[in-house]
Amino acid sequence: MRMKWVIAVVGVVALAAVAVTTELPWLTKKQAAMVQSGDAKTAEGERAGTSDHESKLSCPADAKDANLNFTLKDVSGKDVALADYKGKVILLDFWATWCGPCKVEIPHFIEFQTAYGQQGLQVVGVSVDDTLDKLEPYVRDMKMNYVVLQGLGHDDLQDAFGPIFGIPVSVLISRDGK
């Protein structure tokens, strides 16, 4: 039985090594070289056929409107309507306090909010299954500087942006609500 575990672990490690050393298949060789050299902006521009200065993220022409008709409670118990953020770029993140990968991404969201909040970005974290009494100290301890809402009992919100089968899941909503 122990040998089966050893073989399984070696197999997973080998697959991970292959995945890490393989070129990114959706990029051309030139784009992959730019990404690997740390020039991701230029790589994005290359993919879009634009120069560095013209490279932008944009929604597909057929993107649907995001359903922002939800009101949830923030960590202080105050009602917050997602529609209040229309006109901003919304980074909507579904997460939970017990989720390891969710905890790893929080410092990045703090950094995004700090760096781009003045330019119109609003990070909104929706805790999918934590109560307010558990959320408030967690948000304080993690020094989360963005809006955190309680999503417990709001499966309809997850369904509007899903189906969401696991967490974390982040959704980027444009200024015009797409």
DSSP line for the chain: -HHHHHHHHHHHHHHHHHHHHS--TTS-HHHHHHHHTT-HHHHHHHHHT--TTT------TTPPPP----EEEETTS-EEEGGGGBTBEEEEEEE-TT-HHHHHHHHHHHHHHHHHGGGTEEEEEEESS--HHHHHHHHHHHT--SEEEE-TT-HHHHHHT----SS-EEEEE-TT--
The answer for residues whose C-beta is within 8 angstroms of residue 84's C-beta and 6 or more apart is none
For 47-80, how does the pLDDT look when each residue is reduced to its tens digit (9 = 90+)? 445 444 444 555 566 667 788 889 999 999 999 9
pLDDT(109) > 80: yes
User: For position 157, what pLDDT does the model report?
Assistant: 78
**pLDDT, tens digit, 9 for 90 and up, residues 137-157:** 999 999 999 999 998 887 777
Helix orientation angle between 100-116 and 132-142, rounded to the nearest 10 degrees? 60
Q: Which pLDDT belongs to residue 27?
A: 46
Res 16 pLDDT > 70: no
**Residues labelled catalytic:** 99, 102
pTM comes to 0.65
Q: Where are the domains of the chain?
A: 2-48, 71-173
Q: State the fold for domain 71-173.
A: Glutaredoxin (3.40.30)
